Structure 1
């Protein structure tokens, strides 16, 4: 048992009258001790549920991010005229609405705006459709790549993916606790603003509950992050909704967030989100979008692409962004980006296999 961790647990788990928030340094220490297994299972489980009941502060999220920065992976800087957009989406996936973020990533990278994503497999508490499965359905298998290989793909295509089960295995133990507890701990909030990129980054994070936005602002401010976009998106993702006005907060030079309210109706879109069927159905729908075919999912793709083209500085406003996105889909540029990504991922993976076979043959020869 860790006496130090017990003291941190007592602070967050002592109830409304005597409980205390952790300092940034204490939150970093607690996170580090959980990831490294220095706290006992009983202590870790108790901490996660107590911290959820107490609710995290922005300062605590900043400390948790400090620990992730210290122990976790980072894609290294690439040459780019704009900050790399790092999309933070819920790790436990989607269950009700069709995700569009992989299409958004392909379109942005096609116009020279690099994108980094991160996530894992089907995870608690929702066990929804994760990014990895969507990408794999499109022919891009991120799960077999080492971090160095993912870096090579990122440098060549402008799309990076940090697959946490492989690239950050220290987090795997935390998922076992999430499953047993059946509730999202504050880690689930922190992950949305985690930045596994070492260069100039623009953090894009989704959220559900309004208080989360304030926590994000405090945490990012403490960590010196000046470029971010916070979206009250579909199922807590960065995908803009079509069934309601999109509420978005933008970082600005002043201490106050710049608020943007975007109504789909004002831009000619019907107020309807596309329901999520099977992954196979979604992949077919995405392929239709990439082919330039008209559909409900294409409307969602244009709505989101228009915003992110504008937000990245690639277009002057939403309307020109939407028009540019429609042109990119119809011309086949976005579909070509997917084919490039597939080829590069496969080439990098094959090169690694060839190297392993060569090393294995050399070892056998040396031992014979």
Structure 2
């Protein structure tokens, strides 16, 4: 048992009247004690559940991310020369269960035009046990789960797209996954994962999906504490960074500058003739069939969603001057087969 961790538990678990938040350094230390398994299972479960109830502060989340940055895998991007900043797409690790995800297609579209993309996650995970990104990539023929971290680094350098796979690349974090099922709720780890950048530099573009408005405020405050000033927040499908077609997309944009500027964007899909019902996730097999059709330039219910998301991110990442141009470019890239050829080059 860790007596130090016990003191952290006492501090945050004493109730609304006497409980106190951890400092950033204390939170970083608590995260380290959990990752290194120096805290006992009882202590770890209690810590995660207390934080679920009280909600972590930006300082606490920043501390946890400090430890992820210290102990976790780091892709070396400092020496890489790309025309655009690396974009890290943050998607809930417990996957999707109701709506069809297009994050994979978005990543391929961006990589096709030279925007480097980093994804991260694991296998099907509590509490949703939805379809994880790694399974979708496997269905398209790319098995990121087989790559070492060095091979993932080479994949980024060669293709401009890669995946950090939790079970192989960050086993210390992977061993905390069973607690999600045992406590029956998403722990604070699920929030910090949406902001985590497994890269060697803070000079990246982080995209974080969310469901509840208070989470967006946590993102903003936490990322700024960690000196990340280039980020996008998206009230997306099932908390992902996929824009919905059935409603106005609520997006936050923070631009890197000497005085980082926060902007609010309400994106109406009907303004670009891209509105419609959100595409349901009928099965993984059906999703992969639809994705292959989109990559072949064939129209199906998934195509408008892929164009909508691809076009938005082409604009947001600086490839296109305006949204209309972004949507037109995304459609052209898909219909011309260029995105399919990008996938083929990754498979080689």
TM-score by length of 1: 0.92
Matches within 5 A, 1:347-358: none
Structure 2 residue runs of 5 or longer lacking an equivalent are: none
- 1:80 Cα deviation from its structure 2 partner: 0.8
- 1:256 Cα deviation from its structure 2 partner: 5.8
Q: Deviations over 1:54-105 (max 9, x none)?
A: 1011111100000000100011112212110000100000000000000000
Count residues in correspondence. 343
Matches within 5 A, 1:52-131: 52-77=52-77, 78-131=80-133
Aligned position for 1:154: 156
Instruction: Say if 2:281 is the partner of 1:279.
Output: no
Aligned position for 2:323: 318
Please say which of residues 89-98 and 169-178 is displaced more in the overlay: 169-178
| Coordinate RMSD, CA, aligned | 1.0
- 1:255 Cα deviation from its structure 2 partner: 6.0
Tell me the SS of whatever aligns to 1:16.
Answer: coil
Tell me the SS of whatever aligns to 1:247.
Answer: strand
User: CA contact under 8 A between 2:58 and 2:222: conserved in structure 1?
Assistant: yes
- 1:171 Cα deviation from its structure 2 partner: 1.0
Residues of 1 paired with 2:135 and 2:341: CA distance? 20
Instruction: Say if 2:202 is the partner of 1:203.
Output: no
User: Which consecutive aligned stretches of 4+ in structure 1 deviate over 4 angstroms post-superposition?
Assistant: 253-256
Residues of 1 paired with 2:93 and 2:310: CA distance? 22
- 1:236 Cα deviation from its structure 2 partner: 0.4
Residues of 1 paired with 2:23 and 2:189: CA distance? 16
Call closer, same or farther: CA 1:323–1:91 in 2, change over 3 Å.
Answer: same
TM-score by length of 2: 0.97
Aligned position for 2:314: 309
Q: Deviations over 1:143-173 (max 9, x none)?
A: 1110001111111000010001000000122
Matches within 5 A, 1:236-315: 236-252=239-255, 253=257, 254=259, 257-315=262-320
Tell me the SS of whatever aligns to 1:86.
Answer: strand
Residues of 1 paired with 2:38 and 2:45: CA distance? 13
Residues of 2 paired with 1:244 and 1:270: CA distance? 8
Aligned position for 1:12: 12
Matches within 5 A, 1:225-244: 225-244=228-247
Tell me the SS of whatever aligns to 1:90.
Answer: coil
Task: Specify the structure having the higher radius of gyration (Cα).
Answer: 1
Report the structure, 1 or 2, having the larger helix content.
1
